[in-house]
Amino acid sequence: MTSFHEALYVDISRKLEVDIDAAHDIDNVQCILSTPEKFYVLSNKKEQKLGYYLIAMDINDPGDSHQYLINWTNKLDIASSDMYHMVEHQHGERKESLVVSYKSVGINTFNVFVFDLAT
């Protein structure tokens, strides 16, 4: 299981440092993924409550600009999490998706979500 103690965004050219977990009041960060436009952070706690929290943040402004793709409060820990940015080319169109997977500890289920990033 990969778990991060802190999630920091540092932009040396602008002399900017953002403590992502403090800015969004999240903890137990399980997985982080970046694309050219966004950061995606999967966390197991928000405001000290267990759950599944997937946040999409603008890569140039992760402290203020964000959107929750998953915001489910429950009483389950997660483990074995992973994220993958998938780009498909179908019929001359580009389609971007985010694949998120994790194991729910205690009920032994493995969950896989595919998010269409255009919608």
Q: Domain for residue 17, yes or no? A: yes
Name the band, by pLDDT with cuts 50, 70 and 90, for residue 63: low
CB 59 within 8 A of CB 77: no
- By residue range, what is the domain housing residue 91? 8-116
Q: Domain for residue 2, yes or no? A: no
Number of structural domains in the chain: 1
pLDDT 10s digits, 7-38: 655 666 767 676 777 777 888 989 999 998 89
Instruction: Give the separation between CA 72 and CA 33, rounded to whole angstroms.
Output: 20
Strand partners, 57: 39, 66
Q: Domain for residue 3, yes or no? A: no
Instruction: Give the separation between CA 67 and CA 72, rounded to whole angstroms.
Output: 14
Q: Domain for residue 108, yes or no? A: yes
Q: Is the pLDDT of residue 51 over 50?
A: yes
Q: What percent of the chain has pLDDT over 90?
A: 46
pLDDT 10s digits, 73-98: 998 899 999 999 999 998 989 999 99
Query: Cα 71 vs. chain centroid, distance in angstroms?
Result: 11
CB atoms within 10 A of CB 9: 19
